[in-house]
Amino acid sequence: MEVKTSLLDNMIGVGDMVLLEPLSEDSFLENLRKRFDHSEIYTYIGSVVISMNPYRSLPIFTPDKVEEYRNRNFYELSPHIYALADEAYRSLRDQDKDQCILITGESGAGKTEASKLVMSYVAAVCGKGQEVNKVKEQLLQSNPVLEAFGNAKTVRNDNSSRFGKYMDIEFDFKGDPLGGVISNYLLEKSRVVKQPRGERNFHVFYQLLSGASDDTLRKLKLDRDFSKYNYLSLDSAAVNGLDDAANFRTVRNAMQIVGFMEDEVQSVLELVAAVLKLGNIEFKPESRCNGTDESRIKDKNDLKEMCELLGIEQSVLERAFSYRTVEAKMEKVSTTLNVAQAYYARDALAKNLYSRLFSWLVTRINESIKAQAKTRHKVMGVLDIYGFEIFEDNSFEQFIINYCNEKLQQIFIELTLREEQEEYVREGIEWTNIEYFNNAVICDLIENNQNGILAMLDEECLRPGTVTDETFLDKLNTICAEHQHFESRLSKNSKFLTDHSLPHNCFRIQHYAGKVLYRAEGFVDKNNDLLYRDLSQAMYKANHSLIKQLFPEGNPAKVNLKRPPTAGFQFKASVGTLMRNLQTKNPNYIRCIKPNDKKASHIFTESLVRHQLRYLGLMENVRVRRAGYAFRQAYEPCLERYKMLCKRTWPHWRGPAREGVEVLMSDLQVPGEEFSYGRSKIFIRNPRTLFFLEERRRQCLQDLATLIQKIYRGWKCRSHFLLLKESQIVVAAWYRRYAQQKKYQKIKSATTVVQSYTRGWQARKLLRELKYQKRCEEAATTIAAYWHGTQARMELRRLKQEARNKHAVTVIWAYWQGTKARRELRRLKEEARRKHAVAVIWAYWQGLKVRREYRKFFRANAGKKIYDFTIQRIMQKYFLGLKSTLPSMSPIDKNWPSRPYLFLDGVHKELRRIFHLWRCKKYRSQFTEEKKAVYEEKLEASEIFKDKKALYPSSVSQPFKGDYLEISKNPKYQKLNSAVEEKVLLADVVNKINRANGKGTARIFLLTKKSVVLADQKTGQVKASVPLPDLTSVSVSTQSDGFFALRLKEGSASAVKGDFLLSSEHLIEIITKLHHIGSTTADREQLNVDISDEFLVQFKQDKVCVKFIQGVPKNGNSVSCKRKNNRLLEVSVPTTA
């Protein structure tokens, strides 16, 4: 049986500081130390969880632990962050209360890990399902992406959040997550361009260079060596326990799960690479003729690669780094930038580029994880924001971060300490007022709209004239000199005569966490956060899709001369929105404490923990809890929960709920000092009292369960007994009926048997008498029959003897005559046997044996029938065998089964001829009209060229396409197509041979039913048109060339310039179509085709002989034509193998 532990079981130290005795700062620290040494990192102050960073992995975050804390009372088990997460989740799910979990503490105290644990617990205990699991996975996987781009190694923390994150997780009515919304606050973008000693830039730069593939780095124009990039610090590039390569793969996978497209991931990596390239751009000074200084880029290689990554013209960005344009109403003034200003512009661009990329990432993640339904949802907010920071050199960023922590401390004071006291007053509970430090005065010093530090900083930034950090500090000294929490060299609170730790350019603020010294240098520039408009416009001109979204103010069409809001103003507004959001939700607090500054396990630095204990106000929180009450509950739910502990209130209390609670507490004999009655609630001072009530309730529930089981079992047994009794009566009645029926059937059956036996005996007796009488009658008849038979047989024997005596002489005489005849026959046979001797005797003997053997099987004419049967069987076997071995239906298949018998030779050949004719007919029947026309042309080509032209065999497998130029579809030949009126049967590019040099000129060859057209290939202009009646013949060679001559009718209009000598790759098709047109036209003579290796061609007035020879042309394997003299053109054709 599982043993359920509680907060008080096996407790190391005290699990809830409210129970600590005696209560002092030393005992508080000692209790934390004792629990920390035993790996108990969580401690309660009422409902507040104190979390100590162990700086090591502990086995207390397993799935078994999640199940252990699931749906359990907050104080039921030992302190754990899961208990707070479960309490918040169940309050949201069951009571419909929006929740927020505020995680506060110093940098390195473990806030980020605490937020991850809360989110992972909520994801583990909420519902399941494909859509729900997808939403949970996207919410969890958003953390690695934001950590890579927003976290960095600092001297205090290897994974310090350099931005604030607040995530609202939205749930449906069942408690299943629907989506979320992430808000980010003040990314520390100055880290992009400069990092303090011992710290790193943001993780993503190192992850990209360590984990990306060589191909990816080549595309991004990057190198793995960190030392090649000015923006990356080298002294802390490698961190123990941090695998940048593995983390890069994790980030890529997380981006895919969240919903980033592959092109979006590539765009993000390109921008990260561009920031690294931007840091390598260096400037050198140059003096102009007018005496002013300007800057020039030293090495433009990094600038070139960056511009290629972002799709920006190099000259545009180079000018933006060298000049600044100032616009005022209708005027524009362009000034040059010196080296210092150029470096400022470069760093400003890098910071803005990275910070805007980070904001885009947050927006893109919100698009993926936002809830789709538009109904109201339950919301749980998780705040993970930078902790209080006190460095050796504190600047504007630390000022803003500490201001945010002041506001969080203020909300903690308002919602925890002050609300606690106000509720007791509201309920009329007497108690001693606890004085605590209210940091509202510090918040007012910073954010007051009139005299606040942020307001004065904005006023200085907007003031015309020379504005420096010194003028800002002077203004602070003037206005804030009297404030008790402000110190400077000129304020009344500083002891500048003896305090040498306060330099002249610094001021000190006494925060709730302690005094912090701020260096005023850089406050004005960082608050302005200016990016020159030239750089914004240069970025907007980029062809990169993401850059245009990040720099919308660079659009020339939307130029805004209004000064953008300052960084301090924006952050103050964001913090105000956050505070208003938190005040609408039920708060749950996790106060993170850092045990040491060495980031080492098992080390507890008392002074550091004491400092955090003081500025977190934990002692005041414990005093309020101890002076007040640890538990409070309205009377109605309290009575409903514990009414079974008293007989007077169980099961129903008829009076007011408060009176019922009073009766209940009196009956339980709870000491009066342990509780108090408010106007609407009962307040229990000590958690032990609550545990006592819960334990009594648990025991009572067990007793009630036992009672219910007893009553149920009694009812069940009685019901079962009555059912058995009723069933027994029914069964007995049915059995008696059945027994009587069986007895009656048995008596009836016995009576029937006796009757049947009696009737049988009587019948058998009568049968025996009848049988005896019948046998007597049959015996007399038989004796008479036997007697008459004997008399008849005796008379027959007498008559037969007389007949035999009369026939004896006749028989003897016949035998004698036969004897004589046989003697004569033997004599004659002997004479015959001498003539036919052995052959006749043997033949007759063989025939006799055959006839004796087969007489029983055959009748007359058996030989003819056997012959006919044998022939019929052979023919049947022949045709069946021929059926199974028929060749394919292809007309070119020459296979045919072999002849089985010689006498079937004629039939075998005739059948082969008939089958071939039949399959040819079947094959032709499948042809379309177009296909028939193609085969008719192929057949006509075979009749013309087969065994006559060496080029013919290679053309057989090539289909006749006709229009090779697609002249009707190609817009290039639209004009030529409109010039030809008839349908084009063939369109191809041919070479017209020039008589002068034998070289060819490309011409378009068009063939219609009426004419042949030659046109220029480039312009489409018609060069010649020859009507088909003017063609008398065509001359070709026997070789494998494509030359042919069109012979024209003498005296015709087309023959003025003479015949045409052409060359084409589709010679066979051209001549076949010309021949086919002549043969299918009734009023036209058929075109003659002259095939010879030597023929005459008429060129104007002269006849030229064209001679074809075999040889090796100079230009390789192609045919070449060369002029030998005025009367001879020689064509060299390659020798075919």
Residues 6+ apart with CB under 8 A from 994: 1000, 1001
In a 3-state reduction of DSSP, which class is residue 296? Answer: strand
Q: Which amino acid is at 779?
A: A
The CA-atom distances, in angstroms, between 825 and each of 813, 820, 821, 830 are 18, 9, 6, 8
Distance CA 136, CA 233 (A): 36
Alpha-carbon distance values, 86 to 4, 75, 94, 616, 630 (Å): 17, 12, 12, 24, 19
Token digits of residue 325: 């344009």
Active site residue: 51, 160, 352, 1064, which one? 160
What are φ and ψ of residue 122, in 5° steps?
Answer: -60, -40
Annotation says 112 is catalytic = yes
Residue type, 647: K
Of the listed 6, 104, 157, 1072, which one is catalytic? Answer: 157
Q: Which of 13, 164, 387, 554 is catalytic?
A: 387
SS3 151: strand
What is the 8-class DSSP label of residue 280? T
Q: Is the peptide bond before 651 cis (omega within 30 degrees of 0)?
A: yes
Structure tokens at 186: 């003040």
Q: Which of 68, 113, 270, 389 is catalytic?
A: 389
Catalytic residue among 107, 1011, 1035, 1072: 107
User: Nearest-CA neighbor of 1089 among 967, 940, 919?
Assistant: 940
Indicate if 957 belongs to the active site: no
- What are the backbone angles phi and psi of residue 361, rounded to the nearest 5°? -60, -45
**Cis-peptide into 22, omega within 30 deg:** yes
Asked if 391 and 398 touch (Cβ cutoff 8 Å), the reply is: yes
Active-site annotation holder among 161, 405, 621, 1064: 161
Instruction: Name the nearest CA neighbour of 271 among 545, 531, 541, 526.
Output: 545
Catalytic annotation present for 160: yes
97: helix, strand or coil: coil
3-state secondary structure 1084-1137: CCCCEEEECCEEEEEECCEEEEEEEEEECCCCCCCCEEEEEECCEEEEEEECCC
Whether 236 is catalytic = no
> Is 439 a catalytic site residue?
no
Question: What CA–CA distances, in Å, run from 986 to 388, 832, 1069, 1079?
Answer: 88, 98, 9, 17
**H or E element in which residue 837 lies:** helix 687-854
Copy the structure tokens of residue 633: 């509950």
Cβ contact 622:17 at 8 Å: yes
Quick check: helix, strand or coil at residue 78? coil
Q: How many angstroms separate the Cα of 556 from the Cα of each of 127, 324, 533, 551, 858?
A: 51, 15, 10, 11, 121
Active site residue 120: no
**Cβ-contact 203, 215 below 8 angstroms:** no
Catalytically annotated residue among 6, 112, 536, 676: 112
Q: Clarify whether 318 is annotated catalytic.
A: no
Q: Which long-range contacts (CB under 8 A, 24 or more apart) does 83-86 make?
A: 83/49, 84/47, 84/49, 84/118, 84/588, 84/590, 85/117, 85/118, 85/121, 85/122, 86/121, 86/125
Q: Please state the φ and ψ torsions of residue 274, each to the nearest 5 degrees.
A: -65, -35
Helix segments in 228-310, DSSP class H:
244-258, 262-279, 301-310
Cα separations (Å) of 570 from 323, 573, 574, 577, 758?
A: 29, 5, 6, 11, 127
Tokens 């039939």 belong to which residue?
A: 907
Q: According to the 3-state scheme, what is the secondary structure of 644-689?
A: HHCCCCCCCCCCCHHHHHHHHHHHCCCCHHHEEECCCEEEECCHHH
Distant-in-sequence, close-in-space partners of 690: CB < 8 Å, separation ≥ 6: 75, 630, 631, 684
161 is catalytic: yes
* Options 108, 179, 452, 568, the catalytic residue: 108
By annotation, the residues acting in catalysis are: 107-108, 112, 157, 160-161, 387, 389
